[in-house]
């Protein structure tokens, strides 16, 4: 059963992460990116992000693929109202009810955060080799725990602020 293209909407960083996830999970449909998303993807790859194959919307290849209707479009969230008659997936770091939630017919929200988890933060600090780390303790208080772990595990001077 053919239902047409699938469009994924999100913000830069999260979009590029989604491209990499799709390829790692073996999705074989062509991935088409508008110019800005394409340019950010190229920058991400330049600095080591593994994304896999994707096509610029400005290419002849994309034009042909789009005629078939069998593709995944990866678009910035600001474009979500411009796309009609397609399956839409919205990437959100604020989806807490379920990993994937149906909003309405052919529209879904998928939980995906582009923020580092605790271990990824420690890895970033370790690779950065700073002399001092100041953690953000303003909102929740986790900055104290992070500063403590940086000092304990990495031996790097760290303090929470404020």
> Could you tell me the pLDDT band of residue 114, with boundaries at 50, 70 and 90?
low
Residue 26 has what pLDDT?
A: 93
* Domain spans in the chain, listed from the N-terminal domain onward: 6-111, 118-161
Mean pLDDT over 73-83 rounds to 93
Mean pLDDT over 65-91 rounds to 92
Residues 6 or more apart whose CB falls under 8 angstroms from that of 31 comprise 19, 22, 52, 53, 54, 55, 71, 72, 73, 74
% of the chain at pLDDT higher than 90: 70
Residue 2 has what pLDDT?
A: 59
Residues 6 or more apart whose CB falls under 8 angstroms from that of 21 comprise 112
Mean pLDDT over 21-49 rounds to 94
Residue 162 has what pLDDT?
A: 80
Residue 1 has what pLDDT?
A: 47
Query: Is the per-residue pLDDT at 51 higher than 50?
Result: yes
């Amino acid at each position: 059963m053919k239902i047409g293209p699938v469009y994924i909407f999100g913000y830069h960083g999260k979009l590029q992460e989604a491209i990499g996830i799709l390829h790692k999970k073996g999705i074989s449909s062509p991935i088409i990116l508008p110019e800005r998303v394409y340019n950010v993807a190229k920058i991400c790859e330049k600095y080591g992000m593994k994304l896999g194959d994707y096509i610029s919307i400005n290419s002849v290849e994309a034009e042909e693929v789009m005629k078939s209707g069998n593709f995944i479009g990866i678009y910035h969230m600001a474009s979500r109202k411009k796309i009609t008659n397609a399956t839409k997936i919205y990437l959100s770091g604020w989806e807490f009810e379920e990993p994937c939630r149906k909003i309405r017919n052919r529209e879904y929200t998928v939980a995906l955060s582009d923020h580092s988890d605790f271990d990824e933060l420690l890895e970033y600090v370790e690779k950065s080799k700073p002399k001092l780390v100041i953690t953000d303790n303003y909102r929740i208080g986790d900055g104290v725990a992070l500063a403590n772990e940086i000092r304990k595990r990495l031996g790097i001077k760290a303090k929470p602020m404020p």
